[in-house]
Amino acid sequence: MPPGVQSGGTYLAFMKDKVYTILKAELDFNSEIKTGYCLYEDLGMDSISVIDVMVKIENEFDISFADDEVKEIKMVNHLVEAVSKKLEN
């Protein structure tokens, strides 16, 4: 856990902000990202950009996802939940 970040809700908020920052940087997206957004339709991502985001997230949080796990991530909230689950283990 990063220094100065407490466990529980504070860390979840920190993690979510980091995920959103990575998404915005990868997509050059200046608008607000919402949890209900679809990665493909709403954010205009394709399979390559999803992989790029996943690699950055894996590096940022020192976690890894199997290919089948990545295929299941379709929405922003799925992405946040998947990262959260990995960090719990």
The answer, yes or no, to whether residue 24 has pLDDT greater than 50, is yes
Cα–Cα distance measured from residue 14 to residue 86, given in angstroms and rounded to the nearest whole number: 15
Q: What is the pLDDT of residue 7?
A: 53
Q: What domains, with CATH codes, occur in the chain?
A: 9-88 (1.10.1200.10)
- Contact of 43 with 27, CB cutoff 8 Å: yes
Residue of 39, 44, 47 lying closest to 19 (CA atoms): 39
One-letter amino acid of 25: A
pLDDT digits (tens, 9 = 90+) for 66-75: 999 999 999 9
pLDDT digits (tens, 9 = 90+) for 30-66: 788 998 999 999 999 999 999 999 999 999 999 999 9
Mean pLDDT of 8-25: 86
* pTM score: 0.84
The answer, yes or no, to whether residue 5 has pLDDT greater than 50, is no
